[in-house]
Amino acid sequence: PVGSLHPGTRLCASVRSLRKRRRRGRFSVVKRCDHQGTKRTVAVKQVNKKLMRRDRVTQELNLLQRLQHPHIVSLIDTYETPSSYALVLEMADQGRLLDYIVSWGNLTEEKVACYLRNVLEALHYLHNCRIVHLDVKPENLLVAHTASGQPTVKLIDFGDAVQLNSAHYVHPLLGSPEFASPELVLGEPVSLTSDLWSLGVVTYVLLSGASPFLDESAEETCLNICRLDFSFPRDYFQGVSQAARDFVCLLLRTDPGRRPPAGLCLQEPNTIRSEERNFTLVVHRVDQEHNARFYVLNDLLTLCTGTCCQTISIPLLKNYP
């Protein structure tokens, strides 16, 4: 039954991998499979038992089974093999958001606003449940088409998500720090608005195709985050409205208490607004240059996956100028 990991002889036989590997995470591989019983295409997340403790997988499972939201990927079933724990998940048929943007060839602020609203609605739902995701980044935003053919964004990967029952929960920094909030980088207590910082970085990426804090090393990236060292280069932000830039600045505040909650962002007048001038401005047409920029960013995300930043000197970061 969903809600527990159980031997997967029956289910494993009914889930057949017919396509190439879909993506690799820090501790898992996600494959696109056909579920023979329901005739559905599903995503099977196989977590390596040698790399992840059972209780960590169970924590993700327990969170996912409680969640039902159109912008959060659904858990269908679970099973266990001798080498892996497996979560059978709803398939987002259009793949990763950045790849989807590249494939369609152009992007306007109207589209960015729609994508962000989807993510904000997912975060608002999670935060009402006192759940913080702690890994909001482009790689964890997938796109599915609705019955009417409209794109909808779905949040995935709850491996780092936690229920905040205490005001003093400190989460270890794993993987790339690029989308991590300052409090996460500094080893300080996280909050629900830690996700809003990450969404601010995602917004910057969607508006420009560039990454605001990413540097040559994880430590330099963390220093940039703690110093709030970012700008809006003209080459990348020409044609982007002031309202959109203000929304990024609204989320990228070092003090977690000064960041607006997701529910307020959905009502916030400074959110990328539905003014005609904003919607008619093309943020970027994905020509050769922009294609290259998005692909480089995707490559960097892939390369950063699997790194562990716990070796960064926290005292050094806390003494940043």
Mean pLDDT score of the chain:
79
The domain that holds 303 is classified in CATH as 1.10.510.10
Report the distance separating Cα 40 and Cα 30, nearest Å: 16
Least confident of 1-10, 38-47, 88-97: 1-10
Residues 122 and 57 in one domain: no
Q: Which residues pair with 29 in a beta bridge?
A: 24, 46
156 and 284 both lie in a single domain:
yes
Distances (CA, A) of 63 to 25, 87, 89, 133: 19, 12, 13, 10
Q: Is the pLDDT of residue 15 over 90?
A: no
Which is nearest to 293 in space by CA: 25, 94, 102? 102
Say which of 55, 93, 135, 255 is annotated catalytic: 135
- Measured CA to CA, the distance from residue 68 to residue 122 in angstroms comes to 10
Helices (H) and strands (E) in the chain, counts: 13, 11
Higher pLDDT, 99 or 201: 201
Question: Catalytic residue at 99?
Answer: no
Question: Does residue 4 surpass a pLDDT of 70?
Answer: no
Full-prediction pTM beyond 0.85? no
Q: Are 80 and 160 within one domain?
A: no
Its domain, for residue 74, covers 9-90
Nearest of 128, 267, 265 to residue 196 by alpha carbon:
265
Bigger pLDDT: 272 or 108?
108
Residue 159 lies in a domain: yes
101 shares a domain with 86: no
For residue 2, tell me if it sits in a domain: no
Residues 48 and 101 placed together within one structural domain of the fold:
no
**Statement to judge: residues 81 and 109 lie in one domain:** no
113 and 258 inside one domain: yes
Q: With respect to residue 1, please indicate whether it lies within any of the assigned structural domains.
A: no
Distance CA 269, CA 247 (A): 9
Q: How many domains does the chain have?
A: 2
